[in-house]
Structure 1
Amino acid sequence: MTSGIVAALRRIGRKVWMRAALYTAASVIFALAAGVIATLFPFRIAVDLGQDSVGTILQIIASSMLTVTTFSLTAMVTAYSSATTTATPRATQLLIEDRTSQNALSTFVGGFTFSLVGIIALSTGYYGEQGRTILFFGTLVMIAVIVVTLLRWIAHLSTFGRMADVIDRLESAASGTLTTHAESPALGGRSYSDLPRGLTEISGDASGYVTFVDLPLVERVAARCEVELYVTSMPGETVDPRTPLVAATGSIDDEARESLTRAFRIQPHRDFEQDPRLGVIALAEIGSRALSPATNDPGTAIEVIAALRRVFDTALACTPDEEVSFEHVFVRPVGLSELVTDAFRPLARDGAGIVEVQIRLQKCLASLAACDPTRAPVFRSMADHAYERARDALDTWDVADLERVYRARNA
């Protein structure tokens, strides 16, 4: 199974409709299984349920689960809207993929389906006396599952979609993609900095963002055609039908061209899966919005700086894997300077007039510079950039405070 198929299955598994569909199918099977299981027992199981209590319970579940499902959808949509307006729209996809909310919604839909199927089966005489007893105990199990899920969902709603929750989710996503990038900057291929001349360029037929590159497929095409392939459009970059996706050192037939274009997934919006820059960009967007005059929330910007520091700390601690898995594929990795610029330049620009933010930014960059002396110039350059911006925007007293922190870093 290729990495492209695995990635597609992983993406489908994160969709809320897929989880809800699986829970619904399981609920239908669970409800109908009572009638089948009853015929398999060599002995008789029957309990006096009294006045068709199973049907009454199922009707209560059906009506209540429909209401709870509607409430859950409203709560989820409200959380998505809140994250979009107060944090950044880039965080919405992480909230949509939240497993707790997906499990809660899927359980409620499954409970509704279970009760509906049970009521229909009861009305048609599908269950015998033993089947009704088994259905009764199955209904008790379903009630227990629903109650536990509902309690977890209520506890989850207290933080779901709040600013701290959004920052934590983006930090986790950024840390994951940046750590993967630090461990394998070239995605298993060979690194290159400058593109050789005289290459055959292959373009796609769609416009948008590259969100995934299937390197194993690119390697197979390169090996079959006996060429070397240079990936020129990495995840996170915008492309159109005139933008080359990959360049070859030799001739490429039509079948190979079609395979190479399939190796690049192009979508209207960026995705966190292979894009190491999106996470830090989204965090920086939260900080920039918090520093706008309309919001005026420097505390959130300081939290973002702390989150970015943890993200880069984790990435800088990783040791790059020198093993090359794709001998015929060359990839130009995203540079550390690009990542640092994406993360800290918006905060340096929009927080230039707030001394508390600038002091925290200087301390953060000094700490990151101390992590790895070989990469320290990148962080020191950004610290110089932030200091120059702040010096022009702050008053005399604040400049003096910031300068003491800035000079201490260079001491």
Structure 2
Amino acid sequence: MLSTLQFIRNRLSEALWVRPLVMCVVSFMGTVVAYLLGRWVDASLVPDISRESLEVLLGVLNTGMLAVAVFAVGAMVSAYSSAGQTATPRSFSLIIADDVSQNALSTFIGAFLFSVIAVLALMNGFYSGAGRFFLLILTLAVFWVVVITFIRWVDRIARLGRLAMTLKKVEAATTRAITRYQRSWLWHGASEEESAEGVEVRVPRIGYLQWIDFSLLQRWADKADLKIRLNVLPGAFITPDRVVARIMGKPERAIAEEDLERLGQAFRLGEQRLFDEDPRFGFVVLSEIASRALSPSVNDPGTAIQVVGQLVRLLHLWRNPEEEADAETDKRYDRLEAPAVQLESLFDDAFIGISRDGASMREVMIRLQKAFRALAAIDPEMKDMAEHYARLSLKRAQNALSLEEDYEDVRAVYEQWAK
């Protein structure tokens, strides 16, 4: 249930209409609260505020917020477009979910709606003397919130959509996905055994697997006294012919088609991969950004070098979890098994594209060799993998570097540790 709510919350955070709608409701409630306080408090206890002064103040807020909201939308759209062009379209969901920008747009729209409702209520004599005082306090508070929000938003919009900000957001999202994976039952519940036995579960749809409802699968398996082995994890591309899971064990009766359809509903498909439950996707996106930076039209090896450093940090986190699930006490999904995320897959996602597209750049190849050396020193199990990819990168450099001295520099770095 908790994972379901978290998945829904993450999807709502990517929808631009949610927070403005909430702020509109809050604005309306604010005007109602001012009215109720005006009825409960004696007018003689508060200063008398003229209706005209409030109308002028609210008019300034009314005209100013509409213009600022339109400007905010234009600036945000420009930032989203910049992110897709300078980094990769796969990072769009992270940019659009930026809290500061969404809060700013919501605040501006909410303040505009508040001023409209308050002006209409004032002109129709809705507020008493005490009510006008509390409306003034509320209006001044709205002004203060708008000013602070605008200052914060100007600072953020100057960076939003820029490559450095996008890289930071992608690394943060990948870190969260890795940490979530390490805290889940999947970290210790992975099974290396492949089996062709068992009742097949398929999904009659096509798309990327975004989320799996483990609770639904566990409840069904408990009720049927069976086990379910997953064949896929979030990030996999699913087609109707692909077996997403197998029901293991000896059922007391034949499994009904309705049950298989219900189990298939536990696999949520979409048009694109998501960062939430898919640790590999972050490595793919970072590699795409580096590959674009290495293209002849961009020719920005510095960005690729920066990405290599980020990939090293993420792989270090993968092998050295800050917090992981307890295999003995986490029995919530004891009837489920799942495949493991292979370390080789992470290396493929991270380095194949960079070593291919940067093979003709001496500085990128040297940085890759240093990265592999660092990864080999971080963890003994990562050493063989790092040496393998270091050899592949060296071969690519040998084929792509036109100057012999450049290749010798790359090989010298490789031979310093890979002996």
Write the mapping of 1:7-46 to structure 2, written as runs, cut at 5 A.
7-42=7-42, 44-46=44-46
| CA deviation vs aligned residue, 1:383-406 (integer Å, no higher than 9, x gap) | 111111111111201011111100
**What is aligned with 1:339?**
346
2:410 to 402, 408, 411: 402
Q: Which amino acid aligns with 2:347?
A: V
Asked if residue 386 in structure 1 is aligned to residue 385 in structure 2, the reply is no
| CA deviation vs aligned residue, 1:219-259 (integer Å, no higher than 9, x gap) | 11111111111111210011122222221124433443233
Structure 1: segments with no counterpart, 5+ residues: none
Q: Which amino acid aligns with 2:406?
A: D
| Pairwise CA distance, 1:62 | 1.2
2-side partners of 1:350 and 1:33: how far apart?
A: 61
Write the mapping of 1:272-283 to structure 2, written as runs, cut at 5 A.
272-283=275-286
Q: Normalising to structure 2: TM-score of the pair?
A: 0.93
| CA deviation vs aligned residue, 1:37-85 (integer Å, no higher than 9, x gap) | 1111256344344561111111111111111111111111111101101
1-side partners of 2:23 and 2:146: how far apart?
A: 12
SS of equivalent to 1:277: helix
| CA deviation vs aligned residue, 1:263-284 (integer Å, no higher than 9, x gap) | 1110011100101111010000
Contact 1:32 1:118 survives alignment (8 Å): no
Contact 1:232 1:245 survives alignment (8 Å): yes
1-side partners of 2:205 and 2:132: how far apart?
A: 57
1-side partners of 2:201 and 2:148: how far apart?
A: 54
Write the mapping of 1:130-209 to structure 2, written as runs, cut at 5 A.
130-184=130-184, 187=186, 190-209=189-208
1-side partners of 2:277 and 2:291: how far apart?
A: 24
**What is aligned with 1:288?**
291
**What is aligned with 1:94?**
94
SS of equivalent to 2:20: helix
Q: Which amino acid aligns with 1:115?
A: S
RMSD: 1.7
**What is aligned with 2:122?**
122
| Pairwise CA distance, 1:15 | 3.0
SS of equivalent to 2:38: helix
| Pairwise CA distance, 1:333 | 1.5
Contact 1:362 1:383 survives alignment (8 Å): yes
SS of equivalent to 1:246: strand
The alpha-carbon distance between structure 1 residues 379 and 288, as it changes in their structure 2 partners (threshold 3 A), is same
| CA deviation vs aligned residue, 1:63-117 (integer Å, no higher than 9, x gap) | 1111111111111111110110110011110011110001101100110111011
Structure 2: segments with no counterpart, 5+ residues: none
SS of equivalent to 2:381: coil
| Pairwise CA distance, 1:17 | 1.6
The alpha-carbon distance between structure 1 residues 54 and 42, as it changes in their structure 2 partners (threshold 3 A), is closer
Provide the aligned length of Structure 1 versus Structure 2: 410
Write the mapping of 1:252-401 to structure 2, written as runs, cut at 5 A.
252-318=255-321, 321=325, 322-323=327-328, 324-325=330-331, 326-394=333-401, 395-401=403-409
**What is aligned with 1:212?**
211
| Pairwise CA distance, 1:361 | 0.6
Q: Normalising to structure 1: TM-score of the pair?
A: 0.95
SS of equivalent to 1:56: helix
| CA deviation vs aligned residue, 1:195-229 (integer Å, no higher than 9, x gap) | 22321111112210000111121111111111111
SS of equivalent to 1:245: strand
Q: Which amino acid aligns with 1:117?
A: I
| CA deviation vs aligned residue, 1:145-175 (integer Å, no higher than 9, x gap) | 0000001111112211111000111111112
1-side partners of 2:117 and 2:160: how far apart?
A: 32
The alpha-carbon distance between structure 1 residues 282 and 10, as it changes in their structure 2 partners (threshold 3 A), is closer
Asked if residue 222 in structure 1 is aligned to residue 221 in structure 2, the reply is yes
2-side partners of 1:265 and 1:363: how far apart?
A: 40
2-side partners of 1:140 and 1:269: how far apart?
A: 44
2-side partners of 1:101 and 1:80: how far apart?
A: 11
Contact 2:197 2:246 survives alignment (8 Å): no
Percentage identity across paired residues of the two chains: 34
Contact 2:181 2:279 survives alignment (8 Å): yes
Q: Which amino acid aligns with 2:241?
A: R
